[in-house]
Amino acid sequence: MNDDFKFLKLDDVPGPTKEEVRCLVVCKSGVSNDDVVLEIGCGTGGLTSEFAKRAKKVYSIDKNPKAISLTSKNLKLQKLDKKVELIPGDALDVIDKIPKFDILMVGGSSGDLSQILKNGFSNLNENGRIIITAILLETRVDAIKSLQKLGLSPYIVDVSISRGKIIERGTMMYAQNPVAIIYAFKGK
């Protein structure tokens, strides 16, 4: 896992997903070197790079051109750009053009989560996995309801990470944004 500080960042591009959260997402996804991953919302490319290290191929869609450019730079710095196809555009316009995949990772949906999951589910291989990260409470509820409508049994893990900073009197803990990881398995 790369440290967060190793990623190039921009103020108007979200990310990277915190290192500890990336660890959990990768673990919950069960990604292997035989898997094809479709990621919606690459941001700075934190999760993109982790999937690229482990999967056969990663397709990553983002509607923000700055996110696509920044992810490209971060992938090149890590020498992972050959395993990732970055696709600029709205997921709803592009998702049907992606070949079958094993993992659908949604990190940003711009309010279209239900439709993204519905469209992605049809191209998800049997025994495929869906992973959603959410910081908004509404996204968490939408994710669970949308997965249930697809006939899936979702799981949710709420993660609160705090990092310590050594100060004169001791260690002060700084809380990071809590993140929910919602996941489900097709065919199980």
- The full 3-state SS of the chain, as one line of letters, equals CCCHHHCCCCCCCCCCCCHHHHHHHHHHHCCCCCCEEEEECCCCCHHHHHHHHHCCEEEEEECCHHHHHHHHHHHHHCCCHHHEEEEECCHHHHHHHCCCEEEEEECCCCCCHHHHHHHHHHHEEEEEEEEEEECCHHHHHHHHHHHHHCCCCCEEEEECCEEEEEECCEEEEEECCCEEEEEEECCC
Report how many domains make up the chain: 1
* pLDDT single digits (tens) 115-147: 999 999 999 999 999 999 999 999 999 999 999
Q: What is the mean pLDDT of the chain?
A: 91
8: confidence class by pLDDT, cuts 50, 70, 90 = low
Predicted local confidence at residue 32, as pLDDT: 96
Range of the domain at 73: 4-185
Question: What CATH number does residue 178 fall under?
Answer: 3.40.50.150
* pLDDT single digits (tens) 27-82: 999 999 999 999 999 888 889 999 999 999 999 999 999 999 999 998 999 999 99
